[in-house]
Chains A and B, each alone.
Chain A
Amino acid sequence: MDRSTAVDGPTGHVRGGAVRLSPLGRVGAAVLANRKAAAGALLLALFTAVALLAPLIAPYDPEASDFLPTAPPSAAHWLGTTSLGQDVLSQVIWGARPSLVIGLIAGIVATVISILVGVTAAYRGGLPDLLLSLATDVFLVLPALPLMIVIAAYLKGSGTWVLIAVIVVTGWAFGARQLRAQALSLRGREFLEAARVRGERGSYVIVCEMLPTMTSLIAANVLGAALYAVLAAAGLQFLGLGDINAISWGSMLYWAQNNEALQTGAPLWAIVPGLCIALLGAALALLNYAFDELSNPALRAARRARGRRAP
């Protein structure tokens, strides 16, 4: 049996004029070819670099409040200072870490749960499917933000892990539905029948046969869940439900809003962290969109045909 995701080899090799790339190389090439994906990947890489290098590139200690409060941008403070006398730029740089960490972890954990629920439901069918799908639909419909707010309000001040847990609990349902749909369409395919006939266990079939063919959807899901996590975390922190003493983009917005930054001459304090959240979100969204296009070629942009056109 030729597995559809067989690895060709550690590096590409030339055959008959066409270069055959390994699966990772294929993904890389596709990302680079697609402008949107390239832009998204670039942004993401930029933010990751900033987060990793924060101790090196931040001009000051983000929590140090010895500077002139509410100062406009200057050579010493490129983005000005907060009303507590802290350097905005340093805070922005250090603030990248929580956002990326939350996005990544929440995105992965939520997708893992989505896979467990969605694919199992599709594979087992019958009563397990009914119950799992019902749970999925219920969590899908329950309004996420109010639910998150209520839970987080009870757990106020309990830190980042609680925040991640709350986001995961409200965010797994969307992916589960998508993955179940795709797994269902795979269920009838022959290579699965072949595995079943060989006597393989259910978990083997799921993990080794089904999941590899769903990789692009899974990747898209991780990105989508990460996007949701970044925005949800920002929202909760903005409301003061995250850790307001930690430096993050969302908590910066909280303090900026509470100190009326827009009105009192320190607009960058509010605008820049929000811009960073927006850009990180945009990067994730672009990559997500590109992965969608990857798995469905019909969506790629078409050039207007000359002469007699279709419809």
Chain B
Amino acid sequence: MAVIARRLVFFVITLWAALTINFFLPRLMPGGPVLAMMSRFRGHVTPQAMRSLELAFGVDIHENLLAQYIQYLGDIAQGRFGLSVSFFPVPVAQILMQALPWTLGLIGVTTIISFALGTLIGMVAAWRRGGLADSVLPPVLVVVSAFPYFWFGLICIYLFSAGLGWFPSGFAYDLGSPVALSWSFAGQVLRHAALPAFTITITSIGGWLLTMRNNMIATLSEDYVRMARAKGLSPLRIMVLYAGRNAVLPNITGFALSLGFVLSGALLTEIVFTYPGLGYLLYQAVVGEDYPLMQAIFLLITVAVLAAVLLADVANVLLDPRTRGHQYR
């Protein structure tokens, strides 16, 4: 359990780092962008809201840096991320909450599927060394995983949507449809999510597959696998329970590490498909020079990644008895 405690400390530090970056960026950057943003707000906002914006971005301030910092942290803790510039005057927090479910749905589900599939195929590929999965897939997937996500998305749109018309080319559901909890709506959501999900899965599966395959190859030469053969266990049992279960452990920590990378690509995919999640929101924020929104998205994504890392750690403790401590003699 000390392991988990150390992890939590790490998370706090990372969050603090993200917050501090958000605090210092506008203050360090050449004055242009922030001042321009402020002038767009001036006259349209209550003096109170203006004040909190100034505090968040360090403009026109008379308090010293430390006081600003504490005030800023306090605001964040209370969920006051400020007002959005491009969706004025909606509070940033509200906009985030609208986009979050779409991202969780698309990217969350796809990442899990991609990880599971990649791990499974990687395991089988290593088992049947020299077979089809082992000699063809790795190099192909290495190449495919180097494709920019968004470009692959463009190709998919071009081929399957504009070209063959099998799938819609964007957004999460048919325009104009009411958002309702019905089968037809669910069907729309699935249809619209198909291409982006496909894009993300194809480009990210390569990484999981390769690391699992490499781990498996190393594990297969371990003595306990040889022992399992000696015991006359069925090949399936050996592959999954003896080799697979041990080979997957480093993959789980690797999952947490590469999540940031996968997430970035997935966000870009959302942009290409104008999928109304955090990625597309980020794009709109960039276009609209909406710094409050941008920084809030950065924070939110950081939190999401940290949550995933925590989950991976928990999974690790559950799956690997060696992490649980205590020994008999």
Q: Which residues of A contact B (CB under 8 A)?
A: 36, 134, 137-138, 140-147, 149-151, 153-156, 174, 177, 227-228, 231, 234-235, 238-241, 253, 257, 262-263, 267, 270-271, 274-275, 277-278, 281-282, 284-286, 289, 296, 298-299, 301-305, 310-311
A166: min CB distance to chain B, Å: 12
In the assembled complex, which residues on chain B have CB atoms less than 8 Å from the CB atom of A174? 257
In the assembled complex, which residues on chain A have CB atoms less than 8 Å from the CB atom of B286? 149, 153, 239-241
In the assembled complex, which residues on chain A have CB atoms less than 8 Å from the CB atom of B120? none
Known contacts: A134-B10, A149-B286, A302-B129. The answer to whether A235 contacts B154 by CB under 8 A is: no
Task: Using CB atoms, name the residue of chain A closest to B221.
Answer: A298
- A142 x B151 contact (CB < 8 A): no
**What DSSP secondary structure best describes chain B's contact surface?**
helix
- A137 x B235 contact (CB < 8 A): no
- B151 x A278 contact (CB < 8 A): yes
- A143 x B302 contact (CB < 8 A): yes
B171 CB-CB contact with A under 8 Å: no
- A147 x B298 contact (CB < 8 A): yes
In the assembled complex, which residues on chain B have CB atoms less than 8 Å from the CB atom of A227? 146
- Selected from A150, A156, A239, the residue in CB contact (under 8 A) with B271 is A239
Give the complex CA separation of A282 and B152 in angstroms.
13
- B33 x A156 contact (CB < 8 A): yes
- A301 x B302 contact (CB < 8 A): no
- A311 x B235 contact (CB < 8 A): yes
In the assembled complex, which residues on chain A have CB atoms less than 8 Å from the CB atom of B305? 141-143
Q: Mark B236-253, 1 if CB is under 8 A from A, else 0.
A: 001100010000000000
Give the complex CA separation of A305 and B147 in angstroms.
34
- Selected from B135, B218, B235, B301, the residue in CB contact (under 8 A) with A143 is B301
In the assembled complex, which residues on chain B have CB atoms less than 8 Å from the CB atom of A304? 128-131
Give the complex CA separation of A296 and B210 in angstroms.
14
Interface segment among B12-20, B71-79, B94-102, B190-198: the answer is B12-20
Known: A140-B257, A141-B305, A257-B154. 7 other contacts (CB 8 A): A138-B14, A146-B264, A234-B148, A271-B155, A278-B148, A286-B143, A303-B130
- B295 x A150 contact (CB < 8 A): yes
In the assembled complex, which residues on chain B have CB atoms less than 8 Å from the CB atom of A228? 261
Known contacts: A153-B291, A278-B146. The answer to whether A298 contacts B218 by CB under 8 A is: yes
In the assembled complex, which residues on chain B have CB atoms less than 8 Å from the CB atom of A153? 33, 286, 289, 291, 294
- Selected from A143, A274, A277, the residue in CB contact (under 8 A) with B264 is A143
- B217 x A235 contact (CB < 8 A): no
B181 CB-CB contact with A under 8 Å: no
B160: min CB distance to chain A, Å: 12
- A274 x B260 contact (CB < 8 A): no
In the assembled complex, which residues on chain A have CB atoms less than 8 Å from the CB atom of B162? 262-263
Give the complex CA separation of A311 and B228 in angstroms.
9
B10: min CB distance to chain A, Å: 6
By size class, the interface of chain B is 35 or more
Q: Mark B13-46, 1 if CB is under 8 A from A, else 0.
A: 1100110011001100110011000000000000
Give the complex CA separation of A100 and B235 in angstroms.
48
B131: min CB distance to chain A, Å: 6
B297: min CB distance to chain A, Å: 6
- B298 x A299 contact (CB < 8 A): no
Report which residue of B235, B243, B305 has the largest number of chain A beta carbons within 10 angstroms of its beta carbon: B305
25 contacts between A and B (CB under 8 A): A134-B13, A142-B14, A142-B21, A142-B305, A146-B297, A150-B295, A153-B291, A154-B26, A177-B257, A228-B261, A239-B283, A267-B158, A274-B150, A277-B148, A277-B151, A278-B146, A278-B147, A282-B143, A282-B146, A282-B147, A298-B218, A301-B129, A301-B134, A304-B128, A311-B243
Give the complex CA separation of A146 and B296 in angstroms.
10
In the assembled complex, which residues on chain A have CB atoms less than 8 Å from the CB atom of B130? 301-305
- A146 x B33 contact (CB < 8 A): no
B152: min CB distance to chain A, Å: 8
Give the complex CA separation of A275 and B150 in angstroms.
11
- B287 x A240 contact (CB < 8 A): yes
- A154 x B33 contact (CB < 8 A): yes
- A238 x B150 contact (CB < 8 A): yes
B220 CB-CB contact with A under 8 Å: yes
- B142 x A147 contact (CB < 8 A): no
In the assembled complex, which residues on chain B have CB atoms less than 8 Å from the CB atom of A302? 129-130, 134
B86: min CB distance to chain A, Å: 12
- B14 x A141 contact (CB < 8 A): yes
- B146 x A285 contact (CB < 8 A): yes
Task: Using CB atoms, name the residue of chain B closest to A262.
Answer: B158
Give the complex CA separation of A284 and B145 in angstroms.
11
- Selected from A145, A231, A271, A305, the residue in CB contact (under 8 A) with B154 is A271
Give the complex CA separation of A234 and B128 in angstroms.
37
Task: Using CB atoms, name the residue of chain A closest to B267.
Answer: A145
- Selected from A234, A277, A289, the residue in CB contact (under 8 A) with B139 is A289
In the assembled complex, which residues on chain B have CB atoms less than 8 Å from the CB atom of A305? 130
B106 CB-CB contact with A under 8 Å: no
Give the complex CA separation of A296 and B215 in angstroms.
12
What 8 A-B pairs have minimum CB-CB distances, sorted nearest first? A145-B264, A274-B151, A281-B146, A304-B130, A285-B146, A154-B29, A146-B298, A282-B143
